Amino acid sequence: MPRYGMVIDLDRCTGCRACVEACKVENNTPTANLWMYVFRFEDGQYPNTRVWFLPRPCQHCDNAPCAKVCPVGARYKRADGIVSTDGERCIGCRYCEVACPYGVNYFNWQEPSGNYYMDWSDPDLRPRTNGQTPPYRNPDLDRAFGPDQRRIAGGGRQKGVIEKCTFCVQRVERGQQPACVSNCPLFALHFGDLDDRNSEVAQLLERTSSWRLLQEAGTRPRVHYIGGRPPAAESHQIEAAKARV
């Protein structure tokens, strides 16, 4: 059984947020739900400032507080380490969300409409899509995965349930990389089996010193960062995130 993990090289990240977009397209996530998010930080006081970037996927913790508190076992950790959400069992109590120190959970506050990028009911659109609306939806997102066959992939399923980064389980099970990793133009994101000594992630971790986000919370994340340093008290975002439904 592989032990999946991610390594993020902060020295390479330029904060372009291609990973954020790739995630949204791949997983069909509702408006303002950023399963992958990139902090753009500024440290220090002018003129002694430093701008840097921190991608924040779900950390897929080994001691996941969200899985611990889930009252019905909708949030659970797979044997390969992917922390998954069973959207068919979730009751929408959002306890996972308050328990998570990283703020990676997103709740479907309304019925996901599918109109995330443009208004598909626009009559001008029909001739352009050859009359095909609603648009293409990746059928893999509706498949069941894992030995216990639970539907854990993709977003925008229904209102009133929680969703979050799945490490793109529908791609990983096919042997592909998560969408954010594949789409990073600077190869700042790496994904693979931490137990396989020849994997890229294991090699990177062996060569370089690494750190993990909020280790003091005892969550033992599966996402390792190399280069850079953890955000400090004086780190503040350059622009306030305004994505609110």
Partner 1 sequence: MRGMIALLMLLGGIALAAVSYFALAAPLGPPIGPEYSNPRLLGAPALFILGIMLIFLSAVAYELIPEAQPSAHPAPTPREVPPGATRPAAHG
Partner 2 sequence: MAARVERLPYGIGRFSAGWIVLIVVLLAIVAWGIFAYSRQFVEGLIVTGMRDIGTMGGSTWGLYITFDVYFVGVSFAGITTAAVIRLLNLESMKPVARMAELLTIISLILAGFSVLPDLGQPIRGIVNLFLYARPQSPFYGTFTLVVAGYLFASLVYFYLEGRRDAAIVARMPSRLQWFYRLWAAGYRDTPAERQRHDMVSFLLAIGILPLLVTAHSTLGFVFGLQVGRPGWFSALQAPGFVVMAGISGIGLLIAIVAVIRALLGEQQRLPLPVFRWLGNLLMMLIAIYLYFLMVDWLTATYQPQEHEVKLTSAILTGEFAWMYWSSVLSLAGAFLVLFVQFVVRRHSLALIVLSGLLVQVAAVLKRVLLVVPSQVQGTLLPYTPGTYSPSWVEYSVIVGLFALGTLLYVLFMKVFPIMEVHESEQGG
Least distance CB 143 / partner 1 (angstroms):
17
Rounded Cα distance, 19 and 162, in Å: 21
Select the residue interacting with partner 1 from 6, 18, 22, 70 (CB under 8 A): 70
Cβ proximity to partner 1: between 44 and 73 the closer is 73
| Cα-Cα end-to-end distance for the chain | 39
**Partner interacting with residue 90 (select from partner 2, partner 1, none; CB below 5-8 Å by kind):** partner 2
Least distance CB 169 / partner 1 (angstroms):
13
- Kindly tell me the burial class for residue 140, based on how many C-beta atoms sit within 10 Å of its own C-beta (0-12, 13-18, 19 or more): middle
Scan for tokens 């060569």, then name that residue: 207
Contacts 24+ apart (CB under 8 A), 120-127: none
* Cβ–Cβ < 8 Å for 109, 158: no
Q: Indicate whether 146 belongs to the interface with partner 1 (CB under 8 A).
A: yes
Element (H or E) spanning 96, and its range?
A: helix 95-99
Stretch in the footprint of partner 1 (CB under 8 A) among 33-41, 63-71, 123-131, 221-229: 63-71
Least distance CB 159 / partner 1 (angstroms):
23
**Partner interacting with residue 41 (select from partner 1, partner 2, none; CB below 5-8 Å by kind):** partner 2
Among 235, 241, 228, 188, residue whose Cα is nearest residue 16: 188
Least distance CB 62 / partner 2 (angstroms):
15
Q: Indicate whether 78 belongs to the interface with partner 1 (CB under 8 A).
A: yes
Q: Indicate whether 102 belongs to the interface with partner 1 (CB under 8 A).
A: no
Rounded Cα distance, 58 and 50, in Å: 25
Residues that bind partner 2 (CB under 8 A): 32-34, 37, 39, 41, 56, 65, 68-74, 89-95, 97-111, 159-162, 213-214, 217-219, 231, 233, 235-237, 240-241, 243-245
Cβ proximity to partner 1: between 170 and 183 the closer is 170
Enumerate residues 6+ apart whose C-beta is below 8 A from 52. Answer: 10, 41, 43, 228
Residues of this chain that interact with partner 1 (CB under 8 A) are 62-64, 67-68, 70, 73-79, 86, 146-148
